[in-house]
Amino acid sequence: MRAVVTGGAGFLGSHLCEALIARGDEVVCLDNFLTGDPANVAHLMEQPGFRLVRADVTDYVHVAGPVDLVLHFASPASPIDYLRVPIETLKVGSIGTLHALGLAREKSARFVLASTSEVYGDPEIHPQPESYWGHVNPVGPRGVYDEAKRFAEALTLAYRHTHDVNTGIVRIFNTFGPRMRPDDGRAIPNFIRQALAGEPVTVAGDGKQTRSICYVDDLVRAILAMAGSSESGPINIGNPHEIAMLDLARWIIELTASDSDVVHIERPVDDPTVRQPDTMLAARLLGWSPEIPVEEGLRRTIAWFREQDERHAFTEPPLAPERTQAILNG
């Protein structure tokens, strides 16, 4: 197959590109590097089937030649990012999705939208099934991301029903693994960075709020299963293993053998109280369930962060412009 991955130099997108190349597909990776990093896919540049293109999908998207699969993963995905670039977040969820769908329609390609558990907001139903409409504050600080994804879902279904585009929607719950940015503001990279540095581990509020965390390799398996199916979704993808943030912080301190203490900070506005996927549809329709235990995933992620720390990745400046250009030029 020949696949286009938007946001392919980001955390999830880079793992997806890697998996597609590993199974023998050709990949065109599109990214504007607003939150992605060309270093995430630098190791794929030697692969003859891989091509990295600097492109903003909110502009017109054109890819020469046939395309079998369009995976739309372009978007800021952490609160610190979409609060920093709210307009860009709204544009990539709306205009970017429109252009990615247009590419799929032009090429008669299968289209998969990376939606999010954030469409459920601060849920009043627990765990969250796909039939739940959500409890979202459209004018809150998180609204730019939540509403961008809700719009993207509606647009995807409109293209399916109006233009007969072969579309699918996955709602991705909290995912973690190597290549997460240590400064992206999400709990796991934040806890790991602080624990490895011996700093206080900051837990928002009393830490009783829960999340369900899925290791990235399991998530990628689910995306590929969705891409290879004819299911329209939306389908929840995530690990039903639910954990309180305070317990997660203490677990990471233990796994890193850190002397860090837990410090409680103010809880963000509209921070969801609970988050757990009902994954029965994924099991029944895609034959998928997570396989990697959370502890094993945490150990792998900690090992990767420790390796980056040893290479001074936390203090080194970003790739020099000439290095970035060299990667882009192959």
Q: Indicate which residues carry an active-site annotation.
A: 145
Is residue 14 within 8 Å of 179, Cβ to Cβ? yes
Task: Report how far residue 305's alpha carbon sits from residue 123's, in angstroms, rounded to the nearest whole number.
Answer: 32
The structure tokens 């995807």 sit at 156
Residue 31 neighbours by CB under 8 Å, 6+ apart: 6, 7, 8, 9, 10, 13, 38, 52, 53, 54, 55, 74
Phi, psi (deg, nearest 5) at residue 108: 55, 45
Q: What separation in angstroms does the CA of 27 have from each of 16, 20, 67, 120, 149?
A: 10, 7, 9, 32, 24
Instruction: Say how far residue 189 (Cα) sits from the centre of its chain.
Output: 14
